[in-house]
Amino acid sequence: MNEIAVGILGTGKYVPERRLTNQDLERMVETNDEWIVTRTGIRERRIAAQEQATSDLAYEASVQALKSAGISAEELDLIIVATITPDMFFPSTACLLQEKLGAKKAAAFDLSAACSGFIYGLANATGFIKMGMYRHVLVVGAECLSRITDYTDRNTSILFGDGAGAVILGEVPEGRGFKSFKLGADGSGGELLKISGGGSRLPSTEQSVSERRHYIEMNGRDVFKFAVRVMGSAAEEALASAGYEKSDIDLLVPHQANIRIIQSALERLDLSEDKAMINLDRYGNVSAASIPLALAEAVEEGRVKEGDCLVLVGFGGGLTWGASVLVW
Ligand code: UT7
């Protein structure tokens, strides 16, 4: 019996209405629009309303994805939410989402691989479907990074935003779907990007909060160097294991962290900038949500045609990375 082909049946996205522009940030920290645009490519980010949490953003994106796949929530067998900003420690955001959607039949869990979480989620979902355990899996990347961002730190506050992207995975015609996954981790770089407070190592206390340990801490330069190295190599390895060449790529859908990181990946893959989906100018870095948000927009904008070869590639805290070759 041939292995079944697994691919994307529908996509969805959601971003909150409120915009935080570079001009707004100029009033909050010692920075300026020119520095942010030239060093990162970001112009504005979206910020969740006070009453919104990650599961609310995930819900909106998921409803759209279900609609575009033409299936109902009751037909979902599994929900995976990749996030570093769950509504709460537990229950998982995936369980909260299952309830909101009324996806009664679905199992549900969260996945923690920072900005690589969505690719890790796709690999998990594909494995479950290929082994015949599930038919329809909802994979969501959703974040409210504004809740863990220190708006007195110019090193991080200019980067992050809120949003969600979702896809439904299921069987697709032979020849299409996911051709390979390449996942990786290097725990030795964990210190470069982290939130140290609020966990079992350093539970929240007045002191931990006053030391701002509940916010993201980042060594930007070292993360940058790691990202430049790993984006190209992960994409190349995913291509090689799928039996594809760089020249086969129709669209690169990279993690949206920094335009210079994306440009270096394009250079390594011999691709021009029009071969990459880029929306970080409008949303900033939305961690696990950034790849599905970019993918959903690429689909919306008609940039993805049947039979196109897509490479999804991301990196993030952990350190982690992931890449996948997908024939649409
Ligand atoms: O999803 C993964 C999450 N993280 C990332 O992807 C981060 C990857 N890293 C980066 O994107 C970049 O390292 C940053 C955008 C964070 C920083 O850019 P950079 O080109 O690496 O700048 P830098 O840290 O080397 O700083 C250069 C200068 C420094 O001043 P001096 O020491 O040269 O006088 C900084 O203090 O720029 C200064 N600087 C700023 N100036 C204006 C740092 N942040 C800012 C700022 N506005 N917001």
Domain range annotation of the chain:
6-175, 178-327
Ligand 1 centroid, distance to 52 Cα (angstroms): 30
Q: Does the global pTM surpass 0.95?
A: yes
| Residues in the ligand 1 pocket, defined by CB under 6 Å | 31, 35, 39-40, 115, 154-155, 158, 193, 218, 220-221, 223-224, 227, 257-258, 285, 287, 316
User: Which H/E stretch holds residue 113?
Assistant: none
Nearest protein Cα to ligand 1, atom 38: 155
pLDDT at 297 over 70: yes
Q: Does domain 6-175 have CATH number 3.40.50.1100?
A: no
Chain-wide mean pLDDT for the chain?
A: 97
Q: Is 115 a catalytic residue?
A: yes
Which tens digit of pLDDT belongs to each residue from 239-258?
999 999 999 999 999 999 99
The token pair that represents 169 in the structure block = 């995975």
CATH number for the region 178-327 comes to 3.40.47.10
Please compute the mean of the pLDDT values over residues 267-284 and round it to a whole number: 97
pLDDT at 75 over 90: yes
Please compute the mean of the pLDDT values over residues 168-197 and round it to a whole number: 97
**In which region does residue 275 sit, left (phi positive, over 0), alpha (psi from -120 to 50) or beta (all else)?**
alpha
**Ligand 1 atom at shortest distance from the alpha carbon of 155:** 44
Selected catalytic residue, list 22, 255, 258, 279: 255
Question: Which candidate, 51, 50, 58, places its Cα nearest to that of 85?
Answer: 58
Torsional sign, CA 83, 87, 92, 95:
negative
Predicted pLDDT at 1: 47
Which tens digit of pLDDT belongs to each residue from 34-46?
999 999 999 999 9
Nearest protein Cα to ligand 1, atom 12: 220
Task: Measure the CA–CA gap between 191 and 216, rounded to whole angstroms.
Answer: 11
User: Which H/E stretch holds residue 124?
Assistant: helix 117-130
Selected catalytic residue, list 124, 144, 285, 309: 285
- The angle at the Cα of 197, spanning 193 to 201, to the nearest 5 degrees, equals 100
Amino acid at 45: R
Predicted pLDDT at 2: 64
Query: Is residue 205 classed as helix, strand or coil in its secondary structure?
Result: coil
The answer to whether the 6-175 and 178-327 domains have the same CATH topology is: yes
**Ligand 1 atom at shortest distance from the alpha carbon of 260:** 11
Q: Is 95 a catalytic residue?
A: no
Amino acid at 172: V
Predicted pLDDT at 252: 98
Instruction: Give residue 269's pLDDT band: very low, low, confident or very high (50, 70, 90).
Output: very high
Give every CB contact of residue 27 below 8 A, 6+ residues apart in sequence: none
Q: Is 309 a catalytic residue?
A: no
Cβ neighbours of 236 (radius 10 Å):
18
Task: Measure the CA–CA gap between 286 and 204, rounded to whole angstroms.
Answer: 25
Ligand 1 centroid, distance to 114 Cα (angstroms): 20
